Structure 1
Amino acid sequence: MTTFDAIIIGFGKGGKTLAVELSNHNWKVAVIERSNKMYGGTCINIACIPTKFLAHRAKQEQVKEVQDPKVRLALYDQAIQEKDELTAFLRQKNYNNLAQHENIQVFEGTASFVSDHEVQVTSDKETTVLSAPQIFINTGAETIIPNIPGARESQHVYTSTSIMDLKKLPKKLVIIGGGYIGLEFASIYRQFGSEVTILEGGSKFITREDRDVADAVYDVLSKKGIDLILNAKVIGLQDAQEGIILSYEVSGNAIELHVDAVLLATGRKPNVNGLNLEAAGVKLDERGAIQVDVHLRTSVSHIWALGDVKGGPQFTYISLDDYRIVKDDLFGNGTRRTEDRNNVPYSVFIDPPLSRVGLSEEEARQKKYNIKVAKLPAATIPRARLIQETDGFLKAIVDADTNKILGATLFCAESSEVINMVSMAIQMEQPYTFLRDHIFTHPTMSEALNDLFSQIKA
């Protein structure tokens, strides 16, 4: 048995950042990662970075507009190769960032608790037991495989991870699930030239957004040639001589589609398989996530959980903030808490991106706020005209009694950047006039905040 001051299970954003922090405090740290293909975590290897890179390359090359299918296929293949090179570079960089610290040792293998202080690491070569007084779990999330006949057996069914290793661009792609992950992949593959159909089981599209926002997103995706079918119940999947046959029902009508590939975008769940948490006494909540308190301590006080494995918003920047909470708990005054983390912005990288922070109009009305609503078409923004990306609109919700900004939804070009300014204004509890009267550079998308908040009448 080898003893450390801390064991970190998982090489994700929170875990790798914490490892360096602990090393800087002269802790001897063991970092366990089950695969050398996942050094650096989900974001840089199979999620944020590779997906956004593919979206960028498809748009940059205007692949969909290329008439020659051979050229289009070549551009896709090149983008996949460049994506692989980028993730390999970042993976090595992340490994080097830890390896350069003599107090940090990286173990490749599957982690399993033996007790609340001991973790067994099993690899192809050996089995090792590590011990530490402090343990941190940062194992992320994994794709939910729905109980659809043929889903696990088919050679043409992919997850959000495996589809990015597909070397041949599918001519016809069906995406099961109309959530944010499904929409991003629909946008990516449509830009590359695939015929894309989204099958959504629910009766409402992107349910957490206001209906005017959802309708605008639906219209833009439809205009780009993406078919979106609601109330679709997938019955089964069966491989054919070429491709796959997908069967589904809508309003009792059975329909078959013969396509090249099917993507499961049916959600992700905390990755706790094989951890043997029972041996450590670590409890799960009703959704299968690790239970944590406001300082991210589990039911066992010397074991913490960071990132997607503890449930909540599945963003790499949440995992990074989890590190800040743990750092403050260990070395600060313990005042940082998950309860203080409000108004977290997010972006869905479709084209144009959909970004939001705070309350929607519907949520604000449900909470009985007296509100004022501002809307601004993207087509009125000089920068949008300049870059010829005029789809979408901007929307803000303001508390009429206090003039504080309650939330904003930006469905427009470069919204993933602009939303952070709104988020900061909300966090600083500034009135809407702060952004209405702020001096922005020109021509930029951010200056549209002047015009957006000018729609609010005193």
Structure 2
Amino acid sequence: MTGKTRTWGGNTITDEHYDTIVIGTSQGARFLPVELAKAGQRVALVERDQLGGVCVNTGCTPTKTMVATARLAYQARRGAEYGVRTGPVSVDLVAVRERKRAMVAGAQQNYASRLAQDGLELIEGEAHFTGPKTVEVAMTHGGTRHISASTVIIDAGTRPRPLELAGAGEVPVLDSTSIMELSELPKHLIILGGGYIGLEFGQMFRRFGSEVTIIQSAARLMMTEDEDVADEVAAILRDEGITILTSSTPVRVQPAGGGHLRLTVRTQDGERQLEGSHLLSAIGRIPNTEALSPEAAGIRLDSQGFIEVDEYLETSVPGVYAMGDIKGGPAFTHLSYDDYRTLQSNLMRRGKASTRDRTVPYTMFIDPQLGRVGMTEREAAAQGRAIRVAKVPMSAVIRAIETGETRGFMKTIVDADSGQILGCAVLGSEGGEIMTMIQIAMLGKLTYTDMANAIFTHPLLAEGLNTLFAMFDDA
């Protein structure tokens, strides 16, 4: 590490110079700084909050830990269906929270252990640009540091979008982070937003024992999915006792006495009022770009405040890159990890790895899971593709029948001429795992005939793929 002197704001500043600065510590930044340091670089890793970013602290690890508890409670209540006698089932939310906290602490410790690498320095504080490759850090424990580098990588992530609703400042409003810290079960949880976050928490707290109402301004849930998929998800949630109001716009919220709140909603049938104990805002996320002062570096943002990058993840400033959620697009941990692989190849091996046309799978962890990869039927039609569609209910899959998990369906889209698989949606028991098998088939350029004729172990859920792909020949 060397020092460089420059002038900023009329003052002479001495920079500590590194080879690379990484701002933020999400999934991608979990690996890249370590790899760069192992290669002999001097690396500064700046983090203002908790190591591990959203996934470790407030996203994947804690939510899926709590989803597991919710599923166990749901299954316990179904015991009689399987000939198992159980007593009344209740959930201790404090115990659930403590189990979640322990999982997060373990993940944080594992993360921190990876950073013990010569040449890698963790700097705790808030970073903002003072130039294209110069950064000032307001240290967590006081003071400032001025650092610079030949390469800067931004991995500062996103945060829940604030709720802009009349009266929101007068009542407690939960977000996807604070709801996991509750110590008492909500009597009636009202959720604003019918996307993945809202649906996962909605089903979770319904299974914990809360009354749940989901408010969606659009005409249906999950607007990026095909209509039949969204309708089936809605039917599953309603079957569990969740109230879903679509085409409904929140107008205002106000205290209702007794610690409750009253939400006014504009529906197609006029205004109606809902009274609840808790309000969860699940209306999306925004990028953590303001505090970075990107304008001082000349970094270009899009209309939503996300950092614009090219297919190599380079920003409008040469030598400055962005990875993970802060660059926009699908906000998935596995996509952040693929960003890491792209940058590792290009920065360390002089490769030309690109993010262009990469296929991104994802799973929504409601129960049953929704696994998705490739094109939806609607997307294929919008592109004018000649396609064929096959669909099989999970009630036709032997393993699903045996285990009593028959809700949902498997659906796949193939090219009408070549038979190549273009995409799938698997809404069913272990839907994400089954989707991954189809993704691998897509990566291997297998046709629907290959899948129809493959030998899958009986009786597994995967065996249903024979039935699904054989439908093209039966049509």
The TM-score range, normalised by the shorter chain, is over 0.9
1:91 is matched by which residue type in structure 2?
A: Q
Residues 1:203 and 2:219 are matched in the alignment = yes
Separation in structure 2 between the aligned mates of residue 278 and residue 427 of structure 1, nearest angstrom:
40
Unaligned runs of 5+ in 1: none
SS in 2 for 1:284: coil
Separation in structure 2 between the aligned mates of residue 154 and residue 126 of structure 1, nearest angstrom:
36
1:102 is matched by which residue type in structure 2?
A: D
Deviations 1:243-289 (A, max 9, x none): 22212121262222221111101011221121011111111012211
Deviations 1:419-443 (A, max 9, x none): 1111121122211122222222332
2:360 is matched by which residue type in structure 1?
A: V
Look up the match of 2:206.
190
Separation in structure 2 between the aligned mates of residue 428 and residue 62 of structure 1, nearest angstrom:
38
2:43 to 6, 19, 29: 29
1:42 is matched by which residue type in structure 2?
A: V
Separation in structure 2 between the aligned mates of residue 391 and residue 276 of structure 1, nearest angstrom:
49
Look up the match of 2:301.
284
2:313 to 268, 289, 296: 296
Q: Scaled by the length of structure 2, what TM-score is found?
A: 0.91
How well do the aligned residues superpose, as a CA RMSD in angstroms?
Answer: 1.8
Offset of residue 324 of structure 1: 1.0
* Bigger Rg, which one: 2
Residues 1:176 and 2:188 are matched in the alignment = no
**2:28–2:337 CA contact under 8 A, matched in 1:** yes
Look up the match of 2:322.
305
SS in 2 for 1:133: strand
Deviations 1:148-190 (A, max 9, x none): 01224422x1111111111111111000011111111111111
Offset of residue 125 of structure 1: 2.1
Look up the match of 1:15.
29
2:66 to 54, 64, 78: 54
2:354 to 320, 334, 337: 337
Look up the match of 1:451.
467
Separation in structure 2 between the aligned mates of residue 229 and residue 72 of structure 1, nearest angstrom:
27
Offset of residue 217 of structure 1: 1.1
Look up the match of 1:72.
90
Separation in structure 2 between the aligned mates of residue 440 and residue 422 of structure 1, nearest angstrom:
13
1:160 to 164, 173, 176: 176
**1:4–1:130 CA contact under 8 A, matched in 2:** yes
Look up the match of 2:345.
328
Offset of residue 64 of structure 1: 8.2
Alignment of 1:18-417 (within 5 A): 18-35=32-49, 38-62=50-74, 65=77, 72-74=90-92, 76-98=93-115, 100-122=116-138, 123-155=140-172, 157-239=173-255, 240-251=257-268, 253-341=270-358, 343-417=359-433
Separation in structure 2 between the aligned mates of residue 188 and residue 372 of structure 1, nearest angstrom:
35
Separation in structure 2 between the aligned mates of residue 80 and residue 159 of structure 1, nearest angstrom:
16
Offset of residue 334 of structure 1: 2.7
Offset of residue 63 of structure 1: 8.0
**2:73–2:91 CA contact under 8 A, matched in 1:** no
Separation in structure 2 between the aligned mates of residue 68 and residue 288 of structure 1, nearest angstrom:
52
1:44 is matched by which residue type in structure 2?
A: V
Separation in structure 2 between the aligned mates of residue 417 and residue 134 of structure 1, nearest angstrom:
38
Offset of residue 77 of structure 1: 1.9
**2:73–2:207 CA contact under 8 A, matched in 1:** no
Residues 1:426 and 2:442 are matched in the alignment = yes
Offset of residue 29 of structure 1: 1.0
Offset of residue 62 of structure 1: 3.1
Separation in structure 2 between the aligned mates of residue 62 and residue 313 of structure 1, nearest angstrom:
30
Separation in structure 2 between the aligned mates of residue 64 and residue 139 of structure 1, nearest angstrom:
40
SS in 2 for 1:254: strand
SS in 2 for 1:256: strand
Tell me whether 241-250 or 395-404 shows the greater mean CA deviation.
241-250
1:285 is matched by which residue type in structure 2?
A: D
**1:73–1:168 CA contact under 8 A, matched in 2:** no
Deviations 1:90-135 (A, max 9, x none): 011101110x202111111111112122211112422111221111
SS in 1 for 2:461: coil
**1:231–1:250 CA contact under 8 A, matched in 2:** yes
1:34 is matched by which residue type in structure 2?
A: R
**2:253–2:262 CA contact under 8 A, matched in 1:** yes
Separation in structure 1 between the aligned mates of residue 29 and residue 437 of structure 2, nearest angstrom:
28
Offset of residue 387 of structure 1: 2.1
Percent identity for Structure 1 against Structure 2: 39
1:338 is matched by which residue type in structure 2?
A: T
**1:63–1:72 CA contact under 8 A, matched in 2:** no
Separation in structure 2 between the aligned mates of residue 387 and residue 446 of structure 1, nearest angstrom:
14
Look up the match of 2:10.
none
Offset of residue 383 of structure 1: 1.6
Tell me whether 229-238 or 313-322 shows the greater mean CA deviation.
229-238
Q: Scaled by the length of structure 1, what TM-score is found?
A: 0.94
